[in-house]
């Protein structure tokens, strides 16, 4: 028999993929951005999410509460003196005629202003300082880091108190924030420098230099952006650092002064009343503890979310 002409099956290629591959191709895929991955990791950190919600409530209490509450932080003649907590005054009253809840609102507001300002200024200055030192190394790095060492070995509270004592016209919240920022950037600079020392040896930095990028662009576009995770975490920890330093300064009489108030000043004014009138001492102390704890847990959650070595959860 001679060769038979090919049948119609030869005109169509056989389906070698099989039903399994056709099923896999039918599965819809969604490309996840880096921001979405970070958000997903953060939401899996339940303690950090709870801390964020609690911190939002504290901020709302401090900044929105005075707008709806009956009293402000000043003395009111119609307020009875030295009254324990009640429906009219949930945190009690002072002997001078202050509503303690209004004072705690104002104190929390001023302390948060100081903390956020210190976090922004310290993080900005420390990040740039550490990035420049780590990029150039050599003599520039040595001189810059010796300056960091000098700031780190100085007794922090004593230094800030000495500076605050020389401020004319008293210390307002912004003056206290600037004074704390003067010494608060050094630890962040050391952290960023260590990260930049490893980043500068990466191939993408060499490629950027080969493409004609300037040192300024290398620092702001490549080094600081790739060190954003540790920098953000350091910034959150700077908030707790500033809260504690401001409280210590106010307790020593070098912080925010009357007629304004802060959480540290409220504790200083009630230092003899923990057992006699506890409602004057414990509310501001509890708010300091809550702010510091929530910020630290929030920093832990951000650290885990921004760490590229963390495994994705299915």
- The string of DSSP letters for 131-177 reads HHHHHH-HHHHHHHHHHHHHHHHS-HHHHHHHHHHT-TT---HHHHH
Task: Kindly state whether residue 191 falls inside one of the protein's structural domains.
Answer: yes
Give 93's strand partners: 99
Distance CA 67, CA 65 (A): 5
Give 3-state DSSP helix, strand, coil % of the chain, rounded to 5. Answer: 70, 0, 30
Radius of gyration, CA atoms only, the chain: 29
More confident residue, 49 or 10: 49
Whether omega for the bond prior to residue 173 falls within 30 degrees of 0, making it cis, is no
Please check the confidence at residue 43 and state whether its pLDDT lies above 50.
yes
Burial (CB < 10 A; 0-12, 13-18, 19+), residue 252, is middle
CATH number, domain containing residue 239? 1.10.3720.10
Predicted local confidence at residue 314, as pLDDT: 40
Take residue 302 and report the two structure tokens written for it.
Answer: 């951000």
Task: Kindly state whether residue 10 falls inside one of the protein's structural domains.
Answer: no
DSSP 239-300: HHHHHHHHHHHHHHT-SS-TTS--HHHHHHHTTT-TTTSHHHHHHHHHHHHHHHHHHHHHHH
Task: Kindly state whether residue 17 falls inside one of the protein's structural domains.
Answer: no
Number of domains into which the chain is organized: 1
Residue 128 contacts residue 193 (beta carbons within 8 Å): no
Q: Which domain holds residue 46?
A: 34-79+89-306
Predicted local confidence at residue 18, as pLDDT: 54
Task: Kindly state whether residue 103 falls inside one of the protein's structural domains.
Answer: yes
Predicted local confidence at residue 17, as pLDDT: 52
Please check the confidence at residue 249 and state whether its pLDDT lies above 90.
no
More confident residue, 3 or 144: 144
Task: Kindly state whether residue 154 falls inside one of the protein's structural domains.
Answer: yes
Predicted local confidence at residue 78, as pLDDT: 87
Half-sphere exposure of 164 (CA within 13 A, CB side): 30
Task: Kindly state whether residue 27 falls inside one of the protein's structural domains.
Answer: no
Predicted local confidence at residue 29, as pLDDT: 47
Distance CA 127, CA 56 (A): 26
Burial (CB < 10 A; 0-12, 13-18, 19+), residue 104, is buried
Instruction: Please provide residue 99's backbone torsions phi and psi, each rounded to the nearest 5 degrees.
Output: -85, 120
Predicted local confidence at residue 128, as pLDDT: 94
Residue 239 contacts residue 224 (beta carbons within 8 Å): no
Please check the confidence at residue 106 and state whether its pLDDT lies above 60.
yes
Average pLDDT over the chain, rounded to an integer: 83
Please check the confidence at residue 24 and state whether its pLDDT lies above 60.
no
Burial (CB < 10 A; 0-12, 13-18, 19+), residue 164, is buried
More confident residue, 122 or 152: 122
Predicted local confidence at residue 192, as pLDDT: 93
State pLDDT tens for residues 252-303: 777 787 888 888 889 888 887 788 888 898 999 999 999 999 998 998 888 8
State pLDDT tens for residues 139-183: 999 999 999 998 888 777 677 667 666 665 556 788 888 888 888
Give 99's strand partners: 93
pLDDT tier, 77 (very low <50, low <70, confident <90, very high otherwise): confident
């Amino acid at each position: 028999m001679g060769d038979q002409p090919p049948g119609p099956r030869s005109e169509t290629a056989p389906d070698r993929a099989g039903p399994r591959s056709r099923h896999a191709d039918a599965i819809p895929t969604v490309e996840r951005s880096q921001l979405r991955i970070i958000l997903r990791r953060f939401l899996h950190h339940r303690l950090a999410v709870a801390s964020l919600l609690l911190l939002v409530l504290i901020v709302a209490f401090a900044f929105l509460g005075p707008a709806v509450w009956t009293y402000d932080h000043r003395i009111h003649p119609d307020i009875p003196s030295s009254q324990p907590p009640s429906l009219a005054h949930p945190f009690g009253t002072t002997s001078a005629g202050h509503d303690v809840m209004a004072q705690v609102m104002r104190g929390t507001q001023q302390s948060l202003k100081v903390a956020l300002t210190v976090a922004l200024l310290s993080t900005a200055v420390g990040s740039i300082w550490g990035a420049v030192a780590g990029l150039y190394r050599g003599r520039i790095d040595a001189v810059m880091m010796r300056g960091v060492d000098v700031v780190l070995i100085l007794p922090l509270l004593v230094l800030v108190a000495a500076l605050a004592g020389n401020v004319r016209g008293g210390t307002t919240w912004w003056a206290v924030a600037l004074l704390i920022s003067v010494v608060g950037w050094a630890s962040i600079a050391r952290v960023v420098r260590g990260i930049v020392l490893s980043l500068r040896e990466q191939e993408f930095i060499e490629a950027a230099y080969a493409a004609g990028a300037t040192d300024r662009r290398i620092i702001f576009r490549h080094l600081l952006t790739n060190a954003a995770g540790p920098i953000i975490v350091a910034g959150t920890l700077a908030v707790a650092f500033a809260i504690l330093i401001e409280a210590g300064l106010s307790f020593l009489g070098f912080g925010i002064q009357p007629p304004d108030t802060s959480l540290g000043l409220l504790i200083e004014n009630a230092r003899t009343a923990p057992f006699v009138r506890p409602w004057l001492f414990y509310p501001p102390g509890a708010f300091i503890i809550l702010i510091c704890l929530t910020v630290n847990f929030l920093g832990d959650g951000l650290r885990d979310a921004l760490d590229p070595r963390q495994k994705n959860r299915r």
